Amino acid sequence: MKNIKHSWAEPYKIKMVELLKMTSPSQRKKAMKEAGFNTFLLKSEDVYIDLLTDSGTSAMSDRQWAGMMMGDEAYAGSRNFYHLEEVVKDVYGYKYLIPTHQGRGAENILSKILIKKGDIIPGNMYFTTTRLHQELAGGKFEDIIIDEAHDSENEFSFKGNVDIEKLEKLIKKHGASKIPYVSIATSVNMAGGQPISIKNLKEVRAVTKKHGIRIIHDMTRVAENAFFIQQKEKGFSNKSIKSIVKEICSYTDGATMSAKKDALVNIGGFLAVNDWDVFEEARNMVVVYEGLHTYGGLAGRDMEAMAIGIGESVSDEHIKARVGQVIYLGEKMIEYGVPIVKPIGGHGIFVDAKKFLPHIPQDLFPAQTLASEIYLDSGVRTMERGVVSAGRKANGDNYYPKLELVRFTIPRRVYTQAHMDVIAESAASVYERRNKIKGLKMVYEPKYLRFFQARFEQL
């Protein structure tokens, strides 16, 4: 009986279901055209399986819903704030908490406090909103992720790692006084949900400590990163996800969090820091941009759901099933020959559009094209993470990222294994007719974060 495989399975059962609308090919064609071939502009009603994002799309547990009923909707000093503060301290170890309406609210406040005009912010690959807030505050982002991260076929286990040499060179070139902090993301989103190792993080800590530079942690998907450390890094296989998460946070000085991902809520985020001075300024500034420092743009019930969600997110059983489902989908795509980013990341499958549609040049938006074709095929909604998402530089030129990807992001605790089969089959059938697919032309481009609202026409 040695050959029996022991599968992961969900550590929950389903109590309520949401019915979905099934669409015909002609309905989808009409919907896609009206949406300007941008999956962000589709009505969610017209979508069968929604893989646009894992952000705010999780299913909350019965306990979280019960927590919503315990909302203390006070303008100041809500009980739920103090619960959240206690959980953040216990699970992540950060001293001071500022709730915000979501991750970018925290990024805005933090960037305004720490960044001066002309500063440099090194980071392990950019994220769209994070970089934009750094730039709006007068800083310049510099990518210090290892080269392997830009190669979709390199199977290194920790493609979220920092290239220490790149970091040291930047410090030498600009001087530590020009670098307010190093921006470290766990589970690097734009690289395909790739983790950073504890070993590498400790090295980054050693270098930054020597120069008196802070590390600010984008901890949006820290538990998923901890899972890969537990599975793949030497010395961590017997450690719990909870202890690994806390260890990761301990090497950093503060964090911005979009709780809409790992923390299993539909809205919410926070800024957490260890430094009293930064906290004091943030507490002052949050009043201007988000709301009083004990609610930061959230209802009491939202903070309660977040506090409970954080606890659930660091359970070993939860994270094993969560990432297990993503890996199931990725392996299925690999079986069909669909080119995806390897190793399989934590929050979704990233299809390599340059390899999928090698006949479409980056100027004609291969990933945008592929996302629209997947929707037309099956009603599965995915997202472009390539030249459209990368936007333009300060001088107006396009960024041309090496990675031109379509992200199939898996919401937490929402879809079943049969849904995963349908998704892989759809990617495979579009792959079969890939040679007939032509690119897109951009006909409308907003100034900021253009991927959200840009419109396209088929060539």
**Which residue number, 80 or 258, has a Cβ lying nearer to ligand F0G?**
258
Report how far residue 379's alpha carbon sits from residue 381's, in angstroms, rounded to the nearest whole number.
Answer: 6
275 is annotated as an active-site residue: no
Edge to edge, the sheet with strand 96-100 lists 96-100, 269-273, 254-258, 214-218, 181-185, 120-123, 140-143
Nearer to ligand F0G, 330 or 439 (CB): 330
Check 92, 96, 127, 375 and give the catalytic one.
127
Contact between 94 and 254 (Cβ < 8 Å):
yes
Return the number of the residue (23 or 100) whose C-beta is nearest ligand F0G. 100
Return the residue matching tokens 């505050």.
137
Q: Which two tokens stand for residue 291?
A: 């709301």
Q: Cα–Cα distance between 165 and 149 in angstroms, integer?
A: 15
Q: Shortest Cβ distance from residue 103 to ligand F0G (Å)?
A: 2
Tell me whether residue 105 or residue 439 sits nearer to ligand F0G (CB atom). Answer: 105
Determine the Cα–Cα distance for residues 243 and 448; give it in Å rounded to an integer. 39
Of 332, 342, 385, 407, the active-site residue reads 385
> Which residue, 348, 390, 353, 389, is CA-closest to 369?
353
423 residue type, one letter: I
User: CB of residue 269 vs ligand F0G: minimum separation in angstroms?
Assistant: 5
For the CB of residue 22, give the shortest distance to ligand F0G in the complex, in Å.
Answer: 25
Closer residue to ligand F0G, CB minimum distance, 248 or 437: 248
127 flagged as catalytic: yes
Give the residue among 147, 146, 116 at the shortest CA–CA distance from 134: 116
CA-to-CA distance for 434 and 174, rounded, in angstroms? 46
| C-beta of 301 vs 364, nearer to ligand F0G | 301
* Residue 111, CA distances (Å) to 158, 181, 229, 233 in order: 27, 10, 29, 32
Minimum Å gap between C-beta 107 and ligand F0G is 7
Q: How far apart are CA 245 and CA 355, in angstroms?
A: 35
Q: Given the residues 29, 75, 433, 444, select the one marked as catalytic.
A: 75
Query: Are the beta carbons of 61 and 67 closer than 8 angstroms?
Result: no
Based on the residue annotation, tell me whether 141 is a catalytic residue of this protein: no
DSSP strand pairing (49-50 vs 380-381) = parallel
Is 128 annotated in the active site? Answer: yes
Is residue 111 within 8 A of residue 140, CB to CB? The reply is no
CB of 218 to ligand F0G, least distance (A): 5
Residue 35 phi, psi dihedral angles, 5° rounding: -85, 10
The amino acid occupying position 335 is: E
Minimal distance in Å, beta carbon 110 to ligand F0G? 11
Rounded distance, CA 166 to CA 456, Å? 37
| Cα(204)–Cα(26) distance, integer angstroms | 53
103 or 366, CB closer to ligand F0G?
103
Respond yes or no: is residue 261 known to be catalytic. yes
| Active-site option among 23, 57, 100, 128 | 128
Confirm whether 385 is a catalytic residue: yes
Q: Nearest distance from residue 402's CB to ligand F0G, in Å?
A: 19
Residues 6+ apart with CB under 8 A from 62: 15
The span from the first CA to the last CA of the chain, in angstroms, equals 56
C-beta closer to ligand F0G: residue 113 or 188: 188
Work out the angle at residue 451's Cα, subtended by the Cα atoms of residues 450 and 457, and round it to the nearest 5 degrees: 100
Residue nearest to ligand F0G (CB): 103
Q: Measured between alpha carbons, how far is 109 from 270 in angstroms, rounded to an integer? A: 10
Which one is catalytic: 218, 253, 262, 352?
218
Please, are residues 384 and 289 in contact by the beta-carbon 8 Å criterion?
Answer: no
- Considering the complex, what minimum distance in angstroms separates the CB of residue 256 from ligand F0G? 7
Least CB distance from residue 55 to ligand F0G, whole Å?
4
Q: Interface residues with ligand F0G (CB under 6 A)?
A: 53, 55, 102-104, 127, 129-130, 185, 189, 218, 220, 258, 260, 269
**147 is an active site residue:** no
55 vs 161 by CB, closer to ligand F0G: 55
Q: Which of 221, 260, 261, 342 is catalytic?
A: 261
Indicate which residues carry an active-site annotation.
Answer: 75, 127-128, 218, 261, 385, 451
